[in-house]
A and B are shown apart, each in its own frame.
Chain A
Amino acid sequence: MQRERSLHIAVVGLGAIGSQLLPLLARMLGLAHLTLIDPQSFAEGNLHGQNIFRCDIGDLKVAAMARRALAINPDLEVTALPAAVEDLPLAALRADLLVACVDSRLARLNVNEIAFRLGIPWIDTGVLGVAHLARVTVYFPGANEPCAECSMDARDYALLEYEYPCGARVASQAPSDTTAVLASLAASLAANECQKLLVGDRQYAAVGQVTVDARTHRMFSTAFRRNPDCRFDHRRWEIAPLHCSLQRLTIARALASTGPLRVAGHRFVRQSVCTKCGLRFDGLRLDRPKSRCPKCGARMIAPAFDAMVDRLDHSLPPECLDRTLAQIGLRAGDVVCAADRYYELLPEVS
């Protein structure tokens, strides 16, 4: 039981399913730490479909749900991260278990990749309101284990949701029509799998997908196999700690000790421009995928291909080499790659 007290679950997405799942997790014996990830706030329209109160409207979802979790279990340690999962330092997602309660295929794939890179089991949840279906899928990371991309073909990849330069946003082709009833069913299924994994009952965990058809009261269990043609490489990264002061360590000194550096999952830009108002920023900085214009909130991009910098090396101009890692946007928890080794940036040990 002592071992269980240190367990940690990260929940990505606090909408219909996530808001139903949180109170269940907070009541779970053996859970010590919850990390909540969602960039959005609750709105009036969420009242009918999500497990919130009127007083939560306008609050960040992570803040409102953290309050709820602590009201149920004041001993919990709760970390609230109001950001898109793509923009978080990779190590911020490190937990014993990841649970994705997202409605975007792209976000789901991002969680899948993070879980496999970090070597963490993850649970995917979903509902399909028109068919009265609720499902939960459990993935265990490993080179020979199935991942969420193993069952995808070219048509599935074509359905990934992106923003477009013209302002259009292509939403999921299959709206889930979530209802609170189905969402709570999916949340219960997910909580049940969390409980089994937390106490080490892996042999009873759903290996693959469990779908409940609430209309006909049937349940389906589907096993997945590793697809040898999967487009994702399933590699786990062995990440070593790298203690340093991001505020003091310059790029030149970092390069001297590690050689050319990349930041896993991100690239740098020398210049960025807002795609709506045209606001420009000059100077080297880490380009997080969802970085937004501080003036109008639109997407920021590198204005030209040669403004993108794939890795930091000595070909950078001297004024760039003298900048500190913090000045170019690196944060504790970012994972950098140097000479095919991965390092997690951690605060300096005093």
Chain B
Amino acid sequence: MIDNGAHDDPIFERFLQRQREEGKALAAASDLLDLDAYPVAPPHFVATFHCKGLVRLPDDSIKESNFFQAGIWFPPDYLRRADPFEILRWFGPPNIWHPNISDTLPLVCVGRVSPGTPLVDLVYELFDLLTYAKFNPRENDCLNQACCSWARDNQHRFPVDRRPLKRRPLNLEVRQS
């Protein structure tokens, strides 16, 4: 509730620096993720996913798409408190089709977030949601009710993208013939 009163808290600054480094390393090792740090107030991260996910078109058909964006912000007291309403924002596309991402408000719910959860873990949580590797289709506990029953009936389609977020090392060995 109350912040530390010090926005130049060195522990929090070190935490943020570590998140920037780890995020950069993950994005560099991934073909499906771009991760940008925006230094404007309040400093936040924008994760752009190029994995397959689902969107609903104006004719109500469900199609695959491969461009999704979410914002991640760490409040100054994040190492002590992690209010799920504050940390994540859905940036788009607005016609996302997922039980746990709102198609009317900038809300995304990844479940429990412990204070100090690293950026990389949140990015993986978002990736798992987008690819339907993880979802919660309960109507009384979701952000898109229309999508819940659809998701229950179409579980054979999930996950919609089986590629790992981090590309696997190939370990190719070149032998001279």
Contact = CB atoms under 8 A, between A and B. Distances in A.
Interface string A58-92: 00000000000000000000000000011000100
B164 interface: no
Interface in B76-123: 79-86, 89, 100, 102, 104-109, 111-112, 114-116
A167 B140 contact: yes
A166 B136 contact: yes
A308 B142 CA distance: 25
A158 B112 contact: yes
B136 A165 contact: no
A113 interface: yes
Given A164-B84, A167-B142, A154 B3 contact: no
A288 B116 CA distance: 22
Contacts, number: 103
B174 interface: no
Contacts of B141: 166-168
Contacts of A233: 4-6, 9
A106 B83 CA distance: 11
Contacts of B40: 306
B60 to A, nearest CB: 21
Given A157-B80, A163-B85, A113 B1 contact: yes
B140 A265 contact: no
A53 interface: no
A73 B108 CA distance: 51
Given A86-B1, A165-B109, A278-B105, A160 B100 contact: no
B105 A235 contact: no
Contact residue range for chain B? 35 or more
B5 A165 contact: no
A314 to B, nearest CB: 14
Interface in A98-114: 106, 109-110, 113-114
A233 B6 CA distance: 10
B41 A310 contact: yes
Contact of B5 (A163, A235, A299): A235
Nearest to B43: A305
Main secondary structure of the interface of B (DSSP, over half): loop
Contacts of A3: none
B107 A165 contact: yes
B71 interface: yes
B172 interface: no
B58 interface: no
B51 interface: no
Contact of A154 (B5, B44, B112, B114): B114
Interface string A154-177: 100110101111111010000000
B3 to A, nearest CB: 6
A246 to B, nearest CB: 21
A162 B3 CA distance: 17
Interface in A180-198: none
Contact of B2 (A117, A163, A306): A117
Contacts of A110: 1-2
A13 to B, nearest CB: 15
A265 B2 contact: yes
A303 B106 contact: yes
Given A265-B3, A337-B5, A165 B89 contact: no
A21 to B, nearest CB: 23
A166 B109 contact: yes
Given A110-B1, A162-B85, A166-B100, 12 more contacts: A113-B1, A113-B2, A114-B2, A117-B2, A154-B114, A154-B116, A158-B115, A165-B143, A167-B140, A275-B107, A304-B106, A310-B42
Q: 7 tightest CB-CB pairs across the interface, nearest first?
A: A265-B2, A158-B114, A166-B109, A86-B1, A165-B107, A165-B109, A110-B1
